[in-house]
Structures are given as structure tokens and as C-alpha cells.
Chain A
Amino acid sequence: MTLKNFLLDLLLFVAALIAFEPRLSGIPIHEWLSLALGITLTVHLLWHWDWMLNVGKRYFKRLFHLSRLKFVVDLLFLIAFVTVMVSGLLISRSILPLFGIHTDHRSIWRPIHSLSADWSLLFLAIHLGLNWDWIVCTLKRYVWTPLRQGLSGLSLRIKDNTDVCPQPLEETSRRLP
């Protein structure tokens, strides 16, 4: 699961980087990529369902805790991301016109799109910062160590089901009251 998580997160990250900079890809790719990003983010949320449910349930039992902070940041990130998606659709030049819907790209949604994208970037950075230990651990496990030991190490490790890097859920159940 960790490897799947890692690969999905890596994909999300790269896609987000490209989507954040429309001048890099052009508007059509920007729009379609962002849509794909939205779908992938839904899968990401689905895979972390247990964590969301656990922290959500116990949220008010002990307020000052890293998991709670992560929960709030993730929630704000979700809101900012949905705002980017919605405002992006409302000023779309590629996706909606394809379906015969023409949008007013001079509308108020343009600055909202820019602003919410900036906020999304900020929350993405905080989200990554808060999960830094997991990122480093997973990178070590799936990238650094196999590179050092040669590619055979990767297959050995994938077969190994014991999770070296704590999953968010484990972290939650270990630390929450």
C-alpha cells in the first residue's frame, strides 16, 4: 500500500506542479490535466479514508496535536482545491467549450481562480511539510535504498509487506488517545 500511495502521491505532485503553471503547458493541457488531477485527488482521499474518519471522529478529544493540524490543513487544501476547480471550469476555454458551453473568461472567477491557486500551493506546501517524515522515509525505502543496492532490492522490498514507514492511520492509532 505504501508503494501505491507513494506512486500516486508522486503523480499528483508532478501533475500539480505542471497544472500550477499554465504558461508551461498551455491552457488546454492545463485544463485537462487539472481535471485529471481532481480525479486522482479523489482516489487519494479514498485511500486515506480511514485516516480522515479516525481523526475526524476524535478531533475534539485532544486539540493540539499534529494529526489535528494535518486534518485542518487538508480540509483547507480541499476547499482551496475545489475553488480552483470550480473557478477554472467557470472560465474554461477548452473543456466546457468542447461541450458547447461558452464561458465568460473576463468574469470575477478569474481572480478567484488565481487567488485560490495561490492558496492551494501554500496548503500543498504545508501538507508536504507536515508529512515530511513519511516522504523522506518512503523515498529512502523505494528510491534511495534500491538505487544503492541495485534494482534487485526493489523487488525484494515490494514483496515485504511490513511497513517501515508509518502510515498516517497507524500514526493516528498509535498517538491518539
Chain B
Amino acid sequence: MKTILRLSIILLVMILIGVGIVALFENPTVQNRLGLEAASGRGGRAAEAGTDLFEWQGAEPGGRGNGQGRGFGAAQGEGRGFGWRGGPGEEGGLGQGTERGEGDGSDYEAEPGDGRGFGRRAGGGERIDEFPSSEGWLGLVGILLRLAIVMAVVVALVKFGRWIGRKLKPNGRIKAENASPS
């Protein structure tokens, strides 16, 4: 009985968080503020070719063009992209085998956005409907690396904090003990 009650509370909390998140991000004001509106597809389908994860992957980071990537994170080039994956960097990558090279692309799947541009053809990409792919293994290594780095930093900070704590405590005691009785 106790377990069921606890389970219900946990599920209720999770559902409440979920509903809150949906309500928050479905709010047009929040979407505007976060620049999410553009993502849901304004116009152009410049980067159309094979945007499905099962179809293509790769397109060697980005293509080249000077397109105005408007999706999430313009690919390499002078794209103006904004959004989560951060602008004009080389983030685009893995999304699509776009013919026209500009574009957009979130981390593993491109949104068409309204990017437009020209430039070098961005490779055809490779089929990745066979799993596990080599990209997948590489991604896993990347995840493990990120985990290891953050964990190492946290562990070091905790240990340092404890060391400082230990250092400070005996000092206080020694000072008290050494204080002259007068």
C-alpha cells in the first residue's frame, strides 16, 4: 500500500513536470523568445534531400554555402543560424545529404528551415539504416568522454571541498588549544 502511494506520488510529480513543460514550450510567447518559431518550418525547403535519420547521415559537416541557415544551427559556413546548436559553427553535420549545401541541421537530423544558399555540394552522406553504425559507436565514445570529464571535475571539487573542510576544522581546534589561558 505504502509502495503504491509512493509510486503514485512519483508518477504524479513526473506528470506535473511533463504537463508544465508542454504548457511552457507550447506557449507562443516563450517560443518567440527562444527563437523556436522559425524551427517549425518557415518556408523554404532548400535542404530537403534526405532529411531522415534512416536515410542519410553525414553530408560532411555542413556543406559550404553562405546560406542563411535558419533551422537549428546553421551548418558550416557563414550561415546566420541561431538556436540551440549554436550558430554558424560546424555543428550542422550529421543531418542530411543536402544537395545545396547550406543549411541547417540539428545534431542528427536536419530541419529545413528557410535556409537558402549555394556552395559546394555537401556530399551525399551514407546510409545509416544499419545499426549499430560506426557513427553510433563514435557518439557513444563521445558521451562516455563527456561523462568522464564532468564526473572527474565534480569528484575533484568534492574532494577539494572535503580537504578544505578538514584543513579548516583542526586549525580552529589547534588555535583554541593553543590560545593562552589568560
Contacts and interface: CB of A to CB of B under 8 A. Distances in A.
Interface stretch (A107-115, A143-151, A159-167): A107-115
B10 A45 contact: yes
Interface stretch (B60-68, B114-122, B145-153, B174-182): B145-153
A76 to B, nearest CB: 11
B22 interface: yes
Contacts of B36: 108, 111-112
A20 B154 contact: no
A59 to B, nearest CB: 16
Contacts of B143: 17, 20-21, 121
A106 B62 CA distance: 19
Nearest to B136: A24
Interface in B14-32: 14, 17-18, 21-22, 25, 31
A108 B6 contact: no
Most buried by B among A87, A90, A129: A129
A24 B140 contact: yes
B10 A23 contact: no
Contacts of A25: 131-132, 136
Grouping DSSP codes into helix (H, G, I), strand (E, B) and loop, the B interface class, with mixed when no group exceeds half, is: helix
A78 B14 contact: yes
B160 interface: no
Interface size range on B against A = 35 or more
Contacts of B150: 122, 125-126, 129
Nearest to B139: A21
B96 interface: no
Interface residues of A, number: 42
B1 interface: no
Contacts of B40: 106-108
A122 B94 CA distance: 22
A50 B149 CA distance: 31
A66 interface: yes
Nearest to A136: B155
Most buried by B among A25, A66, A110: A110
Contacts of B111: 106, 110
Interface in B120-171: 128-129, 131-133, 135-137, 139-140, 143-144, 146-147, 149-155, 158
27 contacts: A17-B140, A21-B143, A23-B57, A23-B135, A24-B136, A29-B131, A82-B21, A83-B17, A83-B18, A86-B22, A106-B39, A106-B40, A106-B111, A108-B25, A108-B36, A110-B39, A111-B84, A111-B106, A114-B106, A125-B147, A125-B150, A126-B154, A128-B147, A129-B154, A129-B155, A130-B158, A132-B158
Interface of A: 17-18, 20-27, 29, 42, 45-46, 49, 66, 78-79, 82-83, 85-87, 90, 106-112, 114-115, 121-122, 124-126, 128-130, 132
Given A83-B21, A111-B84, A129-B158, 8 more contacts: A21-B139, A21-B140, A46-B6, A78-B13, A85-B18, A86-B21, A114-B107, A130-B154
**A-B complex: 9 closest residue pairs judged by Cβ atoms:** A129-B154, A24-B136, A125-B150, A23-B136, A26-B131, A129-B151, A21-B139, A108-B36, A82-B17
